[in-house]
Structure 1
Amino acid sequence: MASLNVYSALVVLFLTCGAENNCETKMGLPCVLEAFTSIFNTGSISRKCCGELVVLGKVCHSALVKRTLEIPLFKYLNPGTMIAKSIQTWNNCLALIDSPSPSA
């Protein structure tokens, strides 16, 4: 599990990268953490957070992943693996939000 410092770094990255790439911050903090956990750790992302991620957009999603991989804190990660996981998370989110919602 990532430490508080890792999560803090991700939040700062999300806010600064979003400003630099004209990405509006349309994701709430819980969904930001869910998305990053899904990509950079082991976790899943909920339908709600997938919706927020898709609204953020693929360009912003890709820019955030790229910037994360440039942070020294994450130098131990394999960029190819992380990019593949980010694409998988994006595609899973597209499929999840395009599928019918389960009945209540």
Structure 2
Amino acid sequence: MGSLNVYSVLVVLFLTSGAVMATKENDQIMKENNCETKMGLPCVLEAFTSIFETRSISNKCCGELIVLGKVCHSALVKRTLENPLFKDLSAVTIIAKSIQTWNNCLALIDSPSPSAEGYMIS
């Protein structure tokens, strides 16, 4: 639980601080796409821990991640990896996990709900 609190502080820092060290390219992408306001903090934390740890992401947060968009998702992950606090992490592994999280959420959102199957809306 302690690591989640550390991650919570880091995510809040990343989302609210203008002093975060990021490349101009990722900053520009984030600003142009208004990335920092498209996803609620609880879901940002869930997505973050599903990528940087081995936790799952809920259906609700998968929906918010897809609304966030792939461009914003990629920019946020890359921006996080640029922070010196994460210098010891394997960028290749983290990017692969971020792609896996994105694809899992996309498949979940694109698949019909089991409760809706068999019903016709007229």
Q: Same fold (TM over 0.5)?
A: yes
Q: How far apart, CA to CA, are the structure 2 residues paired with 1:73 and 1:49?
A: 25
Q: How far apart, CA to CA, are the structure 1 residues paired with 2:66 and 2:102?
A: 8
Deviation at 1:5, TM superposition (A): 3.0
Deviation at 1:3, TM superposition (A): 4.6
Aligned-residue sequence identity (percent) comes to 69
Q: How far apart, CA to CA, are the structure 2 residues paired with 1:32 and 1:67?
A: 14
Q: Which residue number in structure 1 is paired with residue 109 of structure 2? A: 97
Amino acid corresponding to residue 102 of structure 2 in structure 1 = W
**Helix, strand or coil at the partner of 2:71:** helix
Picking from 58, 65, 75, the partner of 2:70 is: 58
Q: Which residue number in structure 2 is paired with residue 9 of structure 1? A: 10
Q: How far apart, CA to CA, are the structure 2 residues paired with 1:51 and 1:14?
A: 19
**Helix, strand or coil at the partner of 1:84:** helix
Rg larger for? 2
Amino acid corresponding to residue 108 of structure 2 in structure 1 = L
Query: Conserved in 1, the CA contact under 8 Å of 2:59 and 2:105?
Result: yes
Q: How far apart, CA to CA, are the structure 2 residues paired with 1:31 and 1:101?
A: 21
Structure-2 change in CA distance of 1:11 and 1:102 (3 Å) = farther
Q: How many residues align?
A: 104
Amino acid corresponding to residue 59 of structure 2 in structure 1 = R
Picking from 46, 54, 68, the partner of 1:34 is: 46
Q: Give the aligned CA root-mean-square deviation in angstroms.
A: 2.2
**Helix, strand or coil at the partner of 1:101:** coil
TM-score scaled to structure 1, two decimals?
0.87
Structure 2 residues not aligned, in runs of 5+: 21-25, 117-122
Deviation string, structure 1 residues 52-90 (Cα, Å, up to 9, x no partner): 011111110000000100111111110000000000000
Q: How far apart, CA to CA, are the structure 2 residues paired with 1:26 and 1:102?
A: 27
Deviation at 1:12, TM superposition (A): 2.1
Q: How far apart, CA to CA, are the structure 1 residues paired with 2:111 and 2:16?
A: 30
Structure 1 residues not aligned, in runs of 5+: none
Deviation at 1:14, TM superposition (A): 3.0
